[in-house]
Structure 1
Amino acid sequence: MRQAGQAIGRGVAGVLALLLAACGPAPTPVSRMPVTLGDQAVTTLPIGNEPQPQPVDDLTSTQWPPAQVDRGRAQVSCERDDADDAPRTLQSLEFYPLFDAMTGCESTGLVRLHYSGRIDGGFTELMRRVSAMAERMDLPERLLDIDSPGGHVEEAIRAGDILAASKWTVRVQEQANCLSACVLVLAAADDRIARGNVGVHRLMRDRSNATSRAELNDELRNVNRMVRDYFERHGVALAVADLMMTVPNRRLRLLTADELDEYGLVGRNAAQDDLERIVIRRKCGEDFMRRRDAFQRQYEARCGIEDRPWEDVTRCGLELREAYGFPDAKCPDETPLADAERRLHLEDARVARLAQEAAAEAAAAEAEKLEGDAVAASTPPATTRTAR
């Protein structure tokens, strides 16, 4: 993690002075057609008003410097959806408060973070610390539900690289927005699910000194190059960077479902998929890859991975695996659905334990009732005297 942080710092060292902001009222998510913000122009925030979390280079100890979720709202849960688990609001990001908030996730193997607010230094620190804790607690499934109007591009790049190194899935749920700088966060995830609005517009430099288009272009050239490099390493079409230079700042271009797919902003991250294929082929061989690809095609076609509960999807996939020679004895960890299978076993064990506890409580209550009935039956009725 320390090396990743240093690499991120070196990659943006030349543009730290360019804090880009894209903040403004989010449109009501009723359409994916381009909308006009009208008089509610997207504006920048002045430098210096942002909380500056103390950077953490070493998260291997329990002595983490103080940090708070000062802007935005962050909640953590150990289930995929709110219906299955009540989220816990995060305030302190020190080691023990964060550990306490995520303790229940050890039984599910999953942490879900919901963040609503701007992309800034606080969000980057939130992602750094929750990612580090998830790694320490060996939580293989990591979900980020995000709702953001945008923010600082440099912080979005830092947070995105942290996401990429920590294998997160990012979801833009219905009624949520991921706009402007937030799109960079979405781009870096291993898997991306977008049911709400995803939109971009032209970047703005905070406190620009430009007096001509040529000067403004010079100021933004390095930023555009940085964004393009970022999209390239995360497998996103450079057309998105072009839109971030051409769509007027007072307008917001909402991307259609087809555009999100065409630009590589939904589904499996192509860059991550290529990397995993290279690593797996080197370790497990060409035959393993052929079987894995064939399984994946059938899994996606038959199991309804976007529309069914994850338990049903996982069981469907596990039933398919045997026909393709899985699990593989040589590469058990690379076997498709290996992590999901472990989590399913944990969930089944948890459900069985809860059922046993409920049965024990019911048996104890029944025994107590029978004992009470027996005592009542053995007690002679009270004698009633009639007054004379």
Structure 2
Amino acid sequence: MRRSAPIHLWLSTCLLAACSSPAPAPVSGTTADAAPPAITDAGPLLDTGPTRDRERTDYGATVIELPEPRAPEDEAYDQAPPETDWTPMQLPEGEASISCDRDYATAGDGVPLASLGFSNVWKTLQPCQDSDVVRVRYTGKVDAGFTALVQRVADMADTLGITSRILDIDSTGGQVEEGVRAGDSMAEGGWLVWVREDSVCHSSCVLILAAGDMRMVSGPVGIHRMLRIGSKATSRAELNQELREIHEQVGQYLQRNGAATQVADLMMTVPNRSLRLLTPAELSRFGLSGRNAAEDDLDRIRLGRKCGDGFVRRKDSFFRDYDMLCSNPGDEVADMGQCGRDLKSRYGFPDAACPNDGPMPEYD
């Protein structure tokens, strides 16, 4: 019997590709400039008006969508950290000066720093090697120039072996995304942040406060919500969605830098035309003054291994007394520093075994 040949079936192959439309590009813009706020008792909302002694025409913050953080690739752990960009540039906004002395009342604010080029920053910071302190006095907006300023000063201080860095800031705000970039950079640089009695820190400047290892605040600190001028929102729901995206990004930044995410919540309740001044108690509760909680925890782990548990407990006791005795409403930054310096000797700092690891090394 003859066997029939096998029948071969040819099936056509269909390739299906799922295509998703790209997400709409974020809308960027700037907040509307508001009239300068009146500085009164902290706490209530303050409608901005022309009653302040000093004119503040640059008030407000720019809001640009920040990219979602991506999980690091495996090989990223073997890569060196990004190098500081030393492209020659001037400060587009604001004024900066460099001092090698923390005593601003006597020594002033130092030498003006107009250029952020390598050679100019090197020449300006070189005299600070003797004092091991560099103080950056900055008056102006939080923008790309400010970010470059703190990055380059920190990089040059590392090169010259200057361990103590002070940011002496007076700012009414600026670009939120630059506040995040500058703040994340400062978080790795060991900065002490001052808001002197003759200075203010409003809007996105609060992000800079959150980044400091230690914060000494005498001047007013204020917050409000940020609005996009280019927003296409036509309802409260649409506007709320835009604000929530910004709120989430700012909240993540505050959390990783040891500040309370409630600050971002509180910003949402303050109209852009107004200013909510934070009380000293709120600054402390929100993690915007005194010792940075995130840095403090890292120090406890590191110093416990290096200097011993007794050293860590003594340092903890110092900061508890400092918060109670040296950081009171109405105190000037200079007085806070002198009080801390006197308190250090009571607790035996600098320590003989770990002389560079005590509290407030800028005042050794």
Deviations 1:76-120 (A, max 9, x none): 111111522552111110111111112221111111111111111
Counterpart of 2:274 in structure 1 is 251
Contact map agreement 1:77 1:87 (CA 8 A) in 2: yes
Distance 1:221 1:123, change over 3 A: same
Report the CA distance between 1:46 and its aligned residue.
10
Match of 2:137 among 107, 114, 131: 114
Equivalent in the alignment of 1:58 = 83
Decide whether the 8 Å contact of 1:42 with 1:250 is kept in 2.
Answer: no
C-alpha deviations, 1:183-226, integer Å up to 9, x for none?
A: 11111111112211111111112411222222222222221111
- Residue 287 (structure 2) pairs with residue 264 (structure 1): yes
CA distance in 2, matches of 1:296, 1:243: 28
In the aligned structure 2, how far is the partner of 1:246 from the partner of 1:135? 41
Q: Deviations over 1:19-52 (max 9, x none)?
A: 55475443354442531015999667799xxxxx
Aligned equivalents of 2:341 and 2:335: distance in 1?
10
The residue that corresponds to 2:264 in the other structure is 241
Q: Distance in 2 between matches of 1:170 and 1:295?
A: 19
Secondary structure, in 3 states, of the residue corresponding to 2:238? helix
1:81-96 to 2 correspondences below 5 Å: 81-85=104-108, 87-96=110-119
Q: Indicate yes or no: 2:345 matched with 1:318.
A: yes
1:99 aligns with 2:122: yes
CA distance in 1, matches of 2:206, 2:287: 11
SS of match in other structure, 1:125: helix
Counterpart in the other structure of 2:204: 181
Q: Which runs of 5+ in 2 are unaligned?
A: 1-23, 51-56, 65-80
* Alignment equivalent of 1:37, drawn from 48, 57, 79: 48
Structure 2: distance between partners of 1:326 and 1:147: 34
Q: What TM-score, normalized by structure 1, do the two folds share? A: 0.70
- Residues in 2 aligned to 1:249 and 1:18: alpha-carbon distance in whole angstroms: 16
State the one-letter code of the partner of 1:293.
D
Cα 1:111–1:41 change in 2 (3 A) is: closer
More helix by share: 1
Q: Deviations over 1:225-277 (max 9, x none)?
A: 11111111122122211111111111111111221122121111111111111
Tell me the equivalent position of 2:36. Answer: 26
Flag the structure with larger Rg. Answer: 1
Shift of 1:58: 2.5
Structure 2 CA distance for aligned equivalents of residues 195 and 297 of structure 1? 19
Alpha carbons 1:145, 1:173 under 8 Å: kept: yes
Give the deviation of 1:170 after TM superposition: 1.2
| CA RMSD between the two structures | 3.4
Contact 1:34 1:254 in 2 (8 A): yes
- The AA in structure 2 aligned to 1:132 is D
Post-superposition offset of 1:312? 7.7
Distance in 1 between residues matched to 2:129 and 2:203, nearest whole Å: 34
Contact preservation (8 Å) 1:70, 1:91: no
Unaligned runs of 5+ in 1: 1-13, 48-55, 342-388
- Classify the secondary structure of the residue corresponding to 2:137: strand
Q: Tell me how far apart the structure 2 counterparts of residues 41 and 93 of structure 1 sit (CA, whole Å).
A: 22
Q: How does 1:136-155 map to 2 (within 5 A)?
A: 136-155=159-178
User: 1:216 maps to which residue?
Assistant: 239
Confirm or deny that 1:327 pairs with 2:338: no
Shift in CA distance, 15/22, structure 1 to aligned 2, threshold 3 Å: farther
Is the Cα–Cα contact under 8 Å of residues 23 and 150 in structure 1 kept in the other structure?
Answer: no
Q: Kindly tell me: are residues 30 and 299 of structure 1, through their superposed partners in 2, closer, same or farther at Cα, counting changes over 3 Å? A: closer
Normalized against structure 2, the TM-score is what? 0.75
